[in-house]
Amino acid sequence: NCRKTSSRGRSVVFCPQWDQQPKMAGSSVFRPGLFNHKVAIVTGGGTGIGKAIAAELLELGCNVVISSRKAERLEAAAQEMRQQIPPSSPACVIPLPCNIRSEDEVKGLVSSVLQQFGRIDFLVNNGGGQFSSPVEHMSYKGWKAVIDTNLTGTFTCCKEVYTAWMKEHGGVIVNIIADMWKGFPGMAHTGAARSAVDNLTKSLAIEWAVSGVRVNAVAPGTIFSKTAMENYKELGPNLFKMSVPFSPAKRLGVPEEISSAVCFLLSPAASYISGATLRIDAGQSLYRSMWEIPNHSAWPKAPDGENQEALKDLLKPQSKL
């Protein structure tokens, strides 16, 4: 199906399939060995987006420490990833359980990585969690758990990795946040936390520039993974199905579409990028909200005058203007 075309006097070969091939799992767009002998910590690295990031880093030669609270899930993910590492690769994956809500556990994680590898080049703060609930039904305990994980946990990991290694040696941090640009009705706790991490990213990029540390964020749109669907239990399938019309792409994203962007921000190709947030959402953040507001007459009446009368004639509303 390839054909020759002419452009400005030059002969150009065009093959339609070049633009149609999706990025498949286990086939990074980056060159093999790009991250040989580097060391990365990926929190939440046993499932979903974190697992995809860890797998692509391994494919590129990076030593990866994956961390989360659930040791069994981490070990299973590590075993699966090890089977994909070529025998000639210097890369390895190590599962280390850690609850990022605990400062002591984060300190222990960073200390263990430095003892084993002697360096930490990359930190990917992907660990987090939330649940679906309107604010009026959200308990203080539920609110605090999400803030402690998604915001304070990210802060703690950043600070500990910086003070223990990156302050003297440089490095790169990528924080995974969310599509919270229009608020996050139904999950206000994570919207507040992720917005705060977006601002934290900008602050750290300035404060830590003198140490040669780049800090950026990635804001995924609705990304489907089996574990994410399972986490929302009976709501999961419907939540993801309902999300499709709200994406300009009219499909959901997958974790491998996030991992390649993270690898780019970690790579030398992004050497002049810091304090940025990359939205990976097919334009979802520019589109409409999933939160439906029913017709109502709860708002106060608009001021009287010729404009209100003209508007009434136009809309013939049943509710107050």
Lowest mean pLDDT among 21-35, 70-84, 91-105, 294-308: 21-35
CA 221, 222, 225, 230 torsion-angle sign: positive
Q: Where does the pLDDT of residue 203 fall: very low under 50, low under 70, confident under 90, or very high at 90 and above?
A: very high
Average confidence (pLDDT) over 108-132 = 96
Measured CA to CA, the distance from residue 132 to residue 266 in angstroms comes to: 32
Average confidence (pLDDT) over 77-92 = 93
Lowest mean pLDDT among 12-16, 33-37, 84-88, 155-159: 12-16
| C-alpha neighbours within 13 Å on the C-beta side of residue 179 | 20
DSSP string computed for 301-312: PPPPSHHHHHHH
Residue 4 lies in a domain: no
Total domains, the chain:
1
| Beta strands 3-7 and 10-14, pairing class | antiparallel
Q: Where does the pLDDT of residue 61 fall: very low under 50, low under 70, confident under 90, or very high at 90 and above?
A: very high
Lowest mean pLDDT among 54-63, 87-96, 209-218, 287-296: 287-296
Residue 130 lies in a domain: yes
pLDDT in tens, 304-315: 888 778 888 887
In the predicted structure, residue 83 carries a pLDDT above the cut 60: yes
DSSP string computed for 116-162: HHS---EEEE-------B-GGG--HHHHHHHHIIIIIHHHHHHHHHI
Residue 201 lies in a domain: yes
By C-alpha distance, which of 99, 26, 91, 104 is closest to 62? 91
- Mean of the per-residue pLDDT values of the chain: 89
| pLDDT score for 19 | 47
| pLDDT score for 193 | 97
What one-character DSSP code corresponds to residue 173? E
| Residue span of the structural domain in which 288 resides | 23-315
| pLDDT score for 118 | 98
Would you say 78 and 91 are in contact if contact means Cβ atoms under 8 Å apart?
A: no
Average confidence (pLDDT) over 219-236 = 80
Residue 195 lies in a domain: yes
- Please give the structure tokens belonging to residue 195: 């917005």
In the predicted structure, residue 16 carries a pLDDT above the cut 60: no
Measured CA to CA, the distance from residue 297 to residue 74 in angstroms comes to: 51
Would you say 274 and 296 are in contact if contact means Cβ atoms under 8 Å apart?
A: no
Burial 210-234 (b: 16+ CB within 10 A, else e): eeebbbbbbbbbbbbbeebbeeeee
Average confidence (pLDDT) over 131-154 = 95
| pLDDT score for 26 | 57
| pLDDT score for 281 | 94
The pTM of the full predicted model, rounded to 2 decimals, is 0.85
Placement of tokens 């290694």 in the chain: 165
Measured CA to CA, the distance from residue 65 to residue 321 in angstroms comes to: 57
Placement of tokens 């990866």 in the chain: 64
CA angle 32, 275, 127 (to 5 degrees): 65
In the predicted structure, residue 18 carries a pLDDT above the cut 50: no
Residue 8 lies in a domain: no
Residue 110 lies in a domain: yes
Measured CA to CA, the distance from residue 129 to residue 6 in angstroms comes to: 52
Three-state DSSP class for residue 61 = coil
Average confidence (pLDDT) over 87-116 = 96
Measured CA to CA, the distance from residue 160 to residue 173 in angstroms comes to: 12
In the predicted structure, residue 132 carries a pLDDT above the cut 60: yes
CATH number of domain containing 99: 3.40.50.720
In the predicted structure, residue 162 carries a pLDDT above the cut 50: yes
What one-character DSSP code corresponds to residue 162? I
Residues 6+ apart with CB under 8 A from 122: 35, 38, 39, 40, 41, 57, 62, 171, 172, 173, 174, 266
Average confidence (pLDDT) over 53-60 = 97
Measured CA to CA, the distance from residue 55 to residue 76 in angstroms comes to: 13
Three-state DSSP class for residue 20 = coil
In the predicted structure, residue 12 carries a pLDDT above the cut 80: no
Residue 175 lies in a domain: yes
Residue 5 lies in a domain: no
Q: Where does the pLDDT of residue 45 fall: very low under 50, low under 70, confident under 90, or very high at 90 and above?
A: very high
pLDDT in tens, 265-278: 999 999 999 999 99
Placement of tokens 């939540």 in the chain: 239
Placement of tokens 């633009």 in the chain: 19
